[in-house]
Amino acid sequence: MTQDKIFGRLNPEQEKAVRCIEGPVLVFAGAGTGKTRVITHRIAHMIDRGVNPGCIAAMTFTNKAANEMRERLFSLVRPGDAKRVFLGTFHSYCARLLRKEIGLLGWTADFTIADESDQLSILKQAIAELGFKDEIQPNGCLRVISSCKSQMKEPADLRSEAQYQDMRNIADVFEKYNSLLFLQNMLDFDDLLLLAVRIFEKSPDVLQSCRSRHTHLLVDEYQDTNFLQFRLIRMLAGDSMNLCVVGDDDQSIYGWRGAEVRNILDFPQFFKGTRSFKLEQNYRSTKVILDAANAVIARNDDRHAKNLWSECGEGERIVETGADDEYAEASYVAETIESLKATSSRLSFDDIAILYRSNYQSRTLEESLREMQIPYRIVGARSFYERREVRDAIAYLRLIVNPRDDQSFSRIVASPPRGLGGKALDILRVEKSRGGKSFSEAISDPAIAAEFGQKGAKSALEMGKVLSKWRGEFASGGNLACKSENFLKEIGYLDGLLHMYKDREEALKRQENVFELVNAMAAFEKNPGVETPTLSAFLEKYALYDDNDKVDEDAEKRPSVTLMTVHAAKGLEFEVVFIVGMENGIFPHERSLEERGLDEERRLFYVAITRAKSRLFISHVSFRMKHGQASLQKPSCFLGDIPENLVERRDYSRRAPFRMRGRGEARFSSGPRRFKRADSYVPFDD
């Protein structure tokens, strides 16, 4: 490997960070400054310096980021070396550990990972069994439980801290929820991290083994780590502390899900002898966009000062537009996109993104884009793996791996109909409550099956026989895709789809989606990223599929404008960006203001600004419909942070009193609108 290949494309500060491969290292990487390049080139340099590739572990938050790093690493080092480096998410690292060691905590290695639907179903069961159905909302309860687990709190801790009976009731549900998961040999996403840490605490030998195997650690997006992830990393780093973390405190935007910005701000205090590097040269945006971003984020006090700069040219001023209402705003965005496309032959719809604070804001935008026949896709929309028939097929396969997975059994027992429904499930639940077998095991018991009636008993015994047969077939390994297809045929699911839908075309489409799942398994067998491509490994990969990997896969393949929340846009870049709904109570979000103050919302705005490469458009409205009523809106307090000389103001308004107007009526008015600036912006000032 040549030194030029490693260092030839690095700027001086990047090179310093790459060369420093021993001890604790903190890299502050501003937006668009090449953090992925630093991580991958640093790994390549370590391998070039003699570090065993199998001793290197790099952790990040999304499969997408991990895959990008893997692709880049393959271009820098020999394929054999690249394959030996662990590049994956925190959850995938912990899942791999738990497959080997979870027996220490009472689970078995064939555990399944509960997705959000499973979690809510189990939680509703816990709430019902405890008699709190009318008192506790499942979604809110799940957030409390997730928060507790990320802070390593047990139900007893929540109960002792509770000041009100409602929270003590949630503690009881928390305890019941955990026991239901355990009975089904299931873990939720938080458990993957929590139980890995518990194993390290319980077994110093396991911890030392992991430290010996992965002697050099790297963490991407370190500003997004929570308490549990911090504890995991600190335990793995041990005394050698060969740990490099890369992140940007200015892009810490996940406080609502437990991220602790102090993990990066106080890193030198936690890891003595830390050497810090700061990446400030941006390779993405024009000077105007970066000057605006710098000015906005400078208003936050508790941060490490950075000043982004680039050699991408001055660029055009940011366009700030006021419109009457959300319909006019949507029309303005669609017309501006059409105008930009008409004046630039090189601009593709793929180069354009519309960002909003909350998902509901997409509705009026979608209507205007459709009206003007502008193709679009929504990131974070329903993905392939969330389609009903795919989830059903996955549930069947999960029962092969984990016979105790009652959630999966309940999902597919009547899909397709086979004479087993609600009555059969009630019988199975009673049997289970007596300390009996799991649902999929109980159906093979003739005495239990007899209670289902003649048709139900026959179906139950046949289903149990097929499940038992294919557990043996899959245990022998190999031919994963072929076995899965044959199993789904024999269990009756593939042919059953043709009878579940009256519309044959719809049925065939859903059947094709299941065959596409089989194709995904075949691709996994060829390049699994694990030692052995087992069914369990594939299902684990599916379960750890994250929201940032999801796009609307039903969208046409032609170039399309991207619609997404600002949170979903993190890590992406576009030539042209529209940030809509820049109003107090929308952005910054009212709930976020109440819970965490302005700092995190300002960081979110900073992230939004820095997604743009060459053009940035910001819009807000005078009135917006809320709860069926027209609500007076004020421009976001953040707009006053952008220097006057960087902004061009436009007015997309009829200058008429508010009324619900048909789309397309408003047009650009002549002359700019005047807005107050700087300190005159006060959030929620009446």
For residue 616, give both structure tokens: 């940035």
Give the DSSP H/E element, type plus range, for residue 426: helix 422-433
Cα dihedral 250, 256, 260, 262 sign: positive
* Annotated active-site residue in 184, 251, 364, 633: 251
Whether 454 is a known active-site residue: answer no
Q: Which two tokens stand for residue 248?
A: 């940007």
Judge whether 220 counts as a catalytic residue: yes
Is residue 479 classed exposed, middle or buried when 0-12, 13-18 and 19+ CB atoms within 10 A define those classes? middle
Residue 117 main-chain phi, psi, to 5 deg: -65, -45
CA distance 501 to 388: 13
Q: Residues 6 or more apart from 17 whose CB is under 8 A from it?
A: 25, 27, 38, 42, 244, 277, 279
What angle separates helix 138-150 from helix 116-129, to the nearest 10 degrees? 110
CA gap 169, 159 in Å, rounded: 8
36, 151, 215, 274: the catalytic one is: 36
Three-state DSSP state, 564: strand
CA neighbours closer than 13 Å in the CB half-sphere of residue 172? 14
Cβ neighbour number for residue 596 with a 10 Å cutoff? 14
Given the residues 188, 221, 260, 431, the one annotated as active site: 221
Q: Report d(CA 499, CA 392) in Å as an integer.
A: 15
585 phi and psi, to 5 degrees?
Answer: 95, -20
Mind spelling out the 3-state secondary structure of 286-319? CHHHHHHHHHHHCCCCCCCCCCCEECCCCCCCEE
Q: Which of 15, 118, 220, 326 is catalytic?
A: 220
The question of whether 36 is a catalytic residue gets the answer: yes
**Degrees (nearest 5) of the Cα angle 341, 555, 574?**
45
Q: Which one of the listed residues 377, 510, 611, 615 is annotated catalytic?
A: 611
The strand pair at 623-626 and 629-632 is best described as antiparallel
Q: Choose, from 14, 15, 35, 387, the residue flagged as catalytic.
A: 35
Alpha helices by DSSP H, 105-219: 116-129, 138-150, 155-161, 165-183, 189-202, 204-213
Q: Is 35 considered catalytic here?
A: yes
Residues labelled catalytic: 35-36, 220-221, 251, 611
